[in-house]
């Protein structure tokens, strides 16, 4: 709780306690609840309608004077705390914006995130974890509150505006991630960013495959289709469940499949069925028997144990699953030499 809010809370609590004590005191003197409450209200708010009943005894007069002093003090205290709350809030907001602008001006070789939707949130989390400088451009007021809570550098602006990109330091940035939920807006931002900084690395999000070409023509270096990636991931889990689980849970290489595909490689898994003459062999034997290029990156035993980067003298057992990197669409020759059962094919 901030200091102005705390003062305001204490003032309200003090005034309520004073009014409650006054009401109880008047009721003990024979007043009704309504009369006592009415007296408390007109006294605290200094309306001055007059006493509900005449204060004939010195005790009641002293009690009322004490109530007036305490009530007016609490009322004035609340007013001062409220003014402090409003003034400090405005000052803090103004100073905060100035500090934010200064922080963004000092950024170099940073990343600009256009949009703070689902993709933007995840991207900001990853960049923060990697301690990579970034600034967010988002126009939503709701998203602004969340960004402020996380302490990110941000601009509340429309990313399609060139002025917003310039304020975000596009001319000094090294990358920009265009992840708005609108394909046409992404194309426009990509085009603007490329014109403002020809050396900028641009990664753009596309909602539909037909937008990929437009984004590339607008100047994007790479285009990401989240739905397409999700479909590939699901297909990989179906076709290569062991390899996909191993790569995701153990090696934590989320983009390995895409990088290998760019090199013309693919991750495959092959099981050693009962009776296979591969049982008892080693990776060294496979290199001798197989002529095609491949790399055994892991062996998953029948009991679920994973052997990463197996040594050349590691023995294979029946029921083992080999995780192999090989040329796309070309299974290693050892699958024929040793009658190995292939578990999956390229998508």
Query: What digits encode the pLDDT tens for the residues 16-28?
Result: 888 898 888 888 8
Query: What digits encode the pLDDT tens for the residues 48-87?
Result: 666 777 776 788 888 888 888 888 888 788 877 777 777 6
For 240-342, CATH number out of 3.40.50.10540, 3.40.50.1110, 3.90.1720.10, 3.30.70.1450 equals 3.30.70.1450
CA dihedral angle for residue 273, residue 277, residue 281, residue 287, rounded to 10 degrees: -100
Q: Which of 102, 118, 112, 157 is nearest to 132 (CA)?
A: 112
Q: Which of 323, 289, 293 is nearest to 309 (CA)?
A: 323
Domain definitions of the chain by residue range: 3-100, 107-224, 240-342
Give the per-residue pLDDT at 134. Answer: 94
Pick the range with the lowest mean pLDDT from 137-151, 155-169, 184-198, 262-276: 262-276
Query: What percentage of residues in the chain have a pLDDT greater than 90?
Result: 21
- How does 206-237 read in b/e, with b if 16+ C-beta sit within 10 Å? beeeebbebbbebbbeebbbeeeeeeeeeebe
Average pLDDT over residues 308-317: 87
Q: Residues near 248 by Cβ (< 8 Å), separated by ≥ 6?
A: 254
pLDDT of 185 > 90? The answer is yes
Give the per-residue pLDDT at 335. Answer: 66
- How does 284-318 read in b/e, with b if 16+ C-beta sit within 10 Å? ebbeeebeeebebbbbbeeeeebeeebeeebebee
Which residue do the tokens 């297909």 mark?
235
For 3-100, CATH number out of 1.10.287.70, 3.90.1300.10, 1.10.10.10, 3.20.20.70 equals 1.10.287.70
296 close to 244: Cβ distance less than 8 angstroms: no
Query: What percentage of residues in the chain have a pLDDT greater than 70?
Result: 75
Query: What digits encode the pLDDT tens for the residues 210-231?
Result: 888 899 999 999 988 876 565 5
Euclidean distance between CA atoms 215 and 40, whole angstroms: 70
What CATH superfamily classification does 107-224 receive? Answer: NAD(P)-binding Rossmann-like Domain (3.40.50.720)
Tokens of 310: 């197996």
Average pLDDT over residues 6-21: 84
> Residue 115 — pLDDT band, cuts 50, 70, 90?
very high
pLDDT of 252 > 50? The answer is no
Give the per-residue pLDDT at 328. Answer: 63
> Residue 93 — pLDDT band, cuts 50, 70, 90?
low
> Residue 347 — pLDDT band, cuts 50, 70, 90?
very low
Edge-first strand listing for the sheet containing 134-138: 154-156, 134-138, 111-114, 175-178, 201-205, 222-224
Which of 47-51, 266-270, 332-336 shows the highest mean pLDDT?
266-270
């Amino acid at each position: 709780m901030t200091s102005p809010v705390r003062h305001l809370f204490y003032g309200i609590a003090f005034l309520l306690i004073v009014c409650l004590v006054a009401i109880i005191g008047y009721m003990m003197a024979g007043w009704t609840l309504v009369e006592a409450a009415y007296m408390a209200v007109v006294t605290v708010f200094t309306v001055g309608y007059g006493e509900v009943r005449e204060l004939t005894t010195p005790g009641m007069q002293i009690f009322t004077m004490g109530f007036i002093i305490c009530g007016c003090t609490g009322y004035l205290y609340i007013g001062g705390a409220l003014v402090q709350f409003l003034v400090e809030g405005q000052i803090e907001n103004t100073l905060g914006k100035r500090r934010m602008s200064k922080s963004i001006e000092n950024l170099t070789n940073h990343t600009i995130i256009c949009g703070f939707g689902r993709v933007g949130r995840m991207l900001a989390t990853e960049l923060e974890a990697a301690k990579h400088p970034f600034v967010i451009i988002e126009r939503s007021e709701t998203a602004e509150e969340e960004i402020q809570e996380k302490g990110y550098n941000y601009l509340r602006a429309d990313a399609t505006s060139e002025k917003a990109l310039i304020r975000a330091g596009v001319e000094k940035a090294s990358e920009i991630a265009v992840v708005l939920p609108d394909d046409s807006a992404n194309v426009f931002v990509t085009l603007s960013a490329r014109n403002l900084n020809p050396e900028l690395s641009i990664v753009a999000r596309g909602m539909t495959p037909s937008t990929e070409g437009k984004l590339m023509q607008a100047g994007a270096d790479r285009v990401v289709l989240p739905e397409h990636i999700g479909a590939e991931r699901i297909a990989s889990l179906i076709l290569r469940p062991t390899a996909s689980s191993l790569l995701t849970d153990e090696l934590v290489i989320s983009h390995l499949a895409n990088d290998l595909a760019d090199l013309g490689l693919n991750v495959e898994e092959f099981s050693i069925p009962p009776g296979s003459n591969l049982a008892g062999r080693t990776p060294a034997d496979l290199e001798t028997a197989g002529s095609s290029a491949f790399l055994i990156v892991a062996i998953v035993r029948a009991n679920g144990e994973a052997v990463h980067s197996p040594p050349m003298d590691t023995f294979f057992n029946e029921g083992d699953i080999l995780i192999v990197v090989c040329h796309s669409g070309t299974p290693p020759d050892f699958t024929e030499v040793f009658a190995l059962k292939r578990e999956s094919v390229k998508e």
